Structure 1
C-alpha cells in the first residue's frame, strides 16, 4: 500500500491518484488552491451566477443543512452575500441531542428551515438492506440528502442550490471533476456514494413500492430544466479551510463536544448522527483508513500539523470500533451484534488485515483489526 509522501492518505482510497513523486492529487489540489486559483475571479463568477438565477421572489437559493459546521458556515456565507436561503434538513438516521441543538441554532441565524421527517418504516427497511448490499450504513441518508434538496428547489421554483465543500477538490478525484462545479444527477451517480446500488434496485425490498421511494428519486429532467435548477459547490468559488469554517461557525453558536468524537481526534465531526461514526468505521475496514485519516490529511495540507504528527494521530485513533455508535445502531436497526459483525466481516479487506488459520480476522482486545505489516501507516 502506498501512502502519500505529503499527507497520510493511502492509495486504497477510491478515485485517488498519485503522481510520479508519490504525492496524491488531493495534496496537489491544495497547492493549486494556495498558488494558482484566482479566488477574487471565482467569487465574481459566483455572484454573476447568483444574479442570473435570482428568479424567485421569496428565496435566492436552497441549502441542504444538517446543523453541522459546514452547513452553518454555508448559511452564514450566503447571508453575508445578501442572499435569502431556504434551508432543507433531511432527518439523520439516528439523531443526537447536540445535533438537534445545532440545527436549532442554524435556524435561529435567521432562515426558514424545512425539516423533512422521512417515513421511518420505509427508511429503516432501506437502512437494513443497504448495509448488506453496499457495506454502507448511511447509503440511504446520503441519497436522501442529494435528492430531497433538488425536489424542494423544483417545488418552490428556486433555480439555485448551494452545496458546501467540493469533495473532489478537498479529498481527491479525477482531474475533470475538479473543474466541474455542478452537483446534478450525473455527479450523484458518479460520486454520490451509491456504490453501484440505485434506488430503483430497492423496489420490492420488504414490500417497498416505487411510490414509497419517490422522495429518494432525483427529480425528472423536464422539471429540472423547467426551473433551471443548478447545484453549485461553495468550495469551488471560495477557498475552503475547515479550521476557518469551524471558527466562524463556533463564533455563531455552533456547539462541539468536550471530548473527541468516536473514530477521530476532533470534537466537531459528524455530531448530528450516531450512524455516521459507524459509516466511518465501515470505510476503515474496506479501505484501511477512516475519519482520523481524513482529518489528519486536511490538517497537514492546510499546514496545521506536520506529517509526522499526522502519522501518530492516525495510528492512535483510526480503526477502533465506535462502541457507543454501534450500540445505538444495533438498537435502531434491530440487528444483533453477531449479525452486524458478520456483515462487517463480509466487507473487510482481506489484503490489509490479518487472519488466523481458520480465515477469521484477528482482533486486539479492544476489538480493532490487526493490520498486516506492509499496510501499516508510516
Structure 2
C-alpha cells in the first residue's frame, strides 16, 4: 500500500472501493448489504429453505406438460455445475444451456460434458463466430475500459432468455452465490447491450456482428415484462460451500478443478488476473476474499494475506491473449500504459434504467429481475 488506507474491520474492502462507507465500528456498507440480502432471502436458514421449496414447487407446476421446466446456464465452473446437479436432485427437468465465446478452457468443456452426460440432462450450446468475438474483444481492449469480457455476460444472458422462450419455460436458474462470490462494488463493472454496440462501433474493424447475441433494451423488456421469464438464484437460499460443492463434483462426476474463480475461461482469466490489475489497479480477488472473510469462511487476516500476494502465471495468459486477437507487444504496452476510460465515455442504457427505477422495483418484487440487478443498474451513479 502506498498510503494509509482504512480497511473494513470485518472484510478486506478498503477505502479505494467505490461508494464505500464505514460505520463507527469500522464495518463497511458492503458487509451490511450482504447481511441485508442474507436476511431477505433467509440464506442457509429454515426461512430460506422454505422459500426455495415454494419456488421449486411453482417451477414444477408451471412446467407440467412441457419437456423442460427450467433452463440452467452452465459454464463448466463450480457453481453452475453444482446447481445443475441440485436441480436434478430437486426433481426439476432442466435444459442446460451454454454460451461458447470460443475462449473456453479444455477443462471447462470437458466438465460440462461429464456433468450433463452423467445427469442425463440435454445440453444446448450456442457458439458465436470466433472472428466476431475476436473483433469485439479487440474493440474493448483498445477502448481502454475495464469490462473486457462483458460481451460474454451479455450474450450469455440473451442466449438463456432465447432458450427459455423457445421452450416456453418461465424460469432461468443461475449459479451465483453472494456468500462465496461477494458483492461487486457499485460503480464498477457496469455494462449493457448499448454499451457493447457503441464500443464496437468506435473501436471495432467494421465487421458486422451477425452471430453475436446482444441484449438490447427492447429485448430485455420483452423477456421480462411480456414473456415474464424469471431468474432464480437457488444458491442465495441455501447454506452453500464452494469447497464442499467442488468435492461433491469431483467425487460424483470426475469433475476437474480449473485453479480459481473465473479461470475456467481464458478470456475471463486474462481479464481478472492480468488486464484489470495491471491497467486499472483493480484486483477483483477482493470480491471473493472479502466475502470469505465477512461470512466466516476464512479468517480475515488470512484473506488479507492471500490478497497481498501477487497473481502468478500472468505471462502465459498475456501471450495467449496477444496471439489470439493479433496484437503486437508494442500495441499491448501502449494500451496497458495508455488512457483509461469507463462506461461513462460511451453510450449506455444507464440513464434509462435509472429513470425507470420504479418499474424495475416492481419487476424485482415480482422476481423478474434479481435484487443485485436492481441495485446496480437503477441506482444513481455519482458523476453521471
* Structure 1 length-normalised TM: 0.74
Q: Deviation per CA, 1:157-215, whole angstroms, max 9, x where unpaired?
A: 111101122559952369xx9xxxxxxxxxxxx98741796233235742244x62661
Would the alpha carbon gap of residues 111 and 312 (structure 1) be closer, same or farther in structure 2, given more than 3 Å must change? same
What are structure 2's unaligned runs of at least 5 residues? Answer: 342-384
Give the whole-Å Cα distance in 2 for the aligned partners of 1:17 and 1:84: 44
Q: Deviation per CA, 1:302-322, whole angstroms, max 9, x where unpaired?
A: 43432222222111134x571
- Whether the 8 Å contact between 1:61 and 1:83 is mirrored in structure 2 is yes
> 1:129 deviation in Å?
0.4
Partner residue in 1 for 2:197: 200
Give the whole-Å Cα distance in 2 for the aligned partners of 1:233 and 1:207: 38
Q: How many residues align?
A: 324
Partner residue in 2 for 1:251: 251
Give the whole-Å Cα distance in 1 for the aligned partners of 2:171 and 2:109: 26
Among residues 299, 303, 316, which one is paired with 1:306 in the alignment?
Answer: 299
What is the alpha-carbon root mean square deviation over aligned residues? 3.2
Partner residue in 2 for 1:333: 325
Among residues 109, 124, 143, which one is paired with 2:154 in the alignment?
Answer: 143
> 1:84 deviation in Å?
1.0
Partner residue in 2 for 1:165: 176
Partner residue in 1 for 2:213: 215
**SS of equivalent residue, structure 2 residue 277:** helix
- Whether the 8 Å contact between 1:29 and 1:169 is mirrored in structure 2 is no
Among residues 78, 81, 86, which one is paired with 1:77 in the alignment?
Answer: 86
* Structure 2 length-normalised TM: 0.73
> 1:114 deviation in Å?
1.3
> 1:30 deviation in Å?
5.1
> 1:93 deviation in Å?
4.4
- 2:99 is the alignment partner of 1:117: no
- Whether the 8 Å contact between 2:161 and 2:223 is mirrored in structure 1 is no
Runs of 4+ aligned residues of structure 1 deviating over 4 Å after TM superposition are: 14-17, 29-36, 166-170, 223-226
Among residues 34, 47, 51, which one is paired with 1:42 in the alignment?
Answer: 51
Give the whole-Å Cα distance in 2 for the aligned partners of 1:233 and 1:101: 24
> 1:68 deviation in Å?
0.7
- Whether the 8 Å contact between 1:94 and 1:329 is mirrored in structure 2 is no
Moved more, 73-82 or 106-115: 106-115
Among residues 65, 68, 72, which one is paired with 2:77 in the alignment?
Answer: 68
Give the whole-Å Cα distance in 2 for the aligned partners of 1:170 and 1:25: 17
Give the whole-Å Cα distance in 2 for the aligned partners of 1:220 and 1:305: 38
> 1:125 deviation in Å?
1.0
> 1:61 deviation in Å?
0.5
